[in-house]
Chains A and B, each alone.
Chain A
Amino acid sequence: MHETDMTKALILTVKDWYYSQPEQPKIEKIHLIVGEFTCVEPVSLQFAFEVQTRNTFLAGVELIIRDIPLIAFCHSCQQEYQPEIGLQYSCPDCKSPMEDIRSGRELKIDRIEYSAVANSVVP
């Protein structure tokens, strides 16, 4: 459900960028980075994006979501490990609690791929 709100935030950000460009480009793809240890479900996000951009300047734009796995660092073992979401979060070797999350909490717009509008292309 909150994917709807995230999508709103996403659209607003892209819109700001879009209108801050000297010449409004043709947006082709939006790249997102979504960590596994967040409450965001990529499929729902895709769906919400598609619905909310219908008949707007973002209609038909492709949303590309890169999943980032949950990676934690165990200080006792001095090594990274990948917790099994839903099953086990503590270190598989020494059972220390998950403390230091190295990746998996990301929720961000990475970049926008666009092409210049045909008549404004400077060769």
Chain B
Amino acid sequence: MHQTFNAAIELNLLHANQEGADHNREHFDRWGITCLNLMSSPGAGKTVLLEQTLAALKDKFEMAVIEGDMTTELDADRLRKYDVPVIPINTGRSCHLDSKMVAGGIHTLEHQYNPTDFDLVLVENVGNLVCPAEFEVGEHAKVALLSVTEGEDKPLKYPVMFQEADCLLITKTDLAPYLDIDLERLTANVRQMNKDVTIIHVSAKTGAGLSQWFDWVGDRLKQNQASLARQI
């Protein structure tokens, strides 16, 4: 006789990643570090934004970058000019960072530097509009970038990242006049699924909007430090 049984499992498939992310965040919290996870499709301007951010804020905050470049160190090399630790993660062929990879970066931070010296860790995720949104790495806030060349419909088509973002940077706004993009429509599309996200229009080329972004980073850091102080 063939008898079948059922074993209830009810386990989240992302459980292991989530546990790793929580663990990473505990490390950051212990060291008083705020971690931001930068996500976008390939080429939306993450590295350029990081370059500008490091240049503008490195005298104000102690920063480090965890760089999730697929296979090369091209992005990491661009960032090293700013004299802040840049920890490359070789993601191999993976299309997103996961908490285990970032744990490797945290390990480097712990053993090659003095982690309590840092205020801010910026993670550049792998260029991909879909997958990084599902894999938390231990960040305190998610920053999504969408360049004006990608079109106003992208938030509707790839909703998860936009729904999860705490800050959305609309990048390359200097190019908007040459395109048919409807920026109001874009904003409305994002608002459909995320009413609280901070939306900032920036151009790394002209510098427009960057000071707003720097302020957001500063505020987020202060907020986080205040909430950590309350926990202690």
Q: Is B5 an interface residue (CB 8 A)?
A: yes
The A/B interface has a contact count, at CB < 8 Å, of 101
Contacts known (A39-B130, A115-B5); A87 close to B156, Cβ less than 8 A: yes
Q: Which residues of B contact A40 (CB under 8 A)?
A: 134
**Minimum C-beta distance from A76 to chain B (A):** 12
CB nearest neighbor in A for B1: A121
Interface bits B84-99 vs A (CB < 8 Å: 1, else 0): 0000000001111010
Q: Which residues of A contact B8 (CB under 8 A)?
A: 110-111
Number of interface residues of A (CB under 8 A): 37
Q: Is A61 an interface residue (CB 8 A)?
A: no
**Minimum C-beta distance from A106 to chain B (A):** 8
In the assembly, what is the distance between CA of A17 and CA of B9, in Å?
Answer: 9
Q: Is B232 an interface residue (CB 8 A)?
A: no
Interface residues on B, range: 35 or more
Chain B residues with CB under 8 Å of chain A are 2-17, 93-96, 98, 130-131, 133-135, 156-157, 159-160, 163, 191-195
Q: Is A48 an interface residue (CB 8 A)?
A: no
**Minimum C-beta distance from B191 to chain A (A):** 6
**Minimum C-beta distance from A2 to chain B (A):** 4
Q: Are B96 and A6 in contact (CB under 8 A)?
A: no
Q: Are B9 and A113 in contact (CB under 8 A)?
A: no
**Minimum C-beta distance from B41 to chain A (A):** 13
State which of A2, A37, A108 has its C-beta within 8 Å of the C-beta of B12: A108
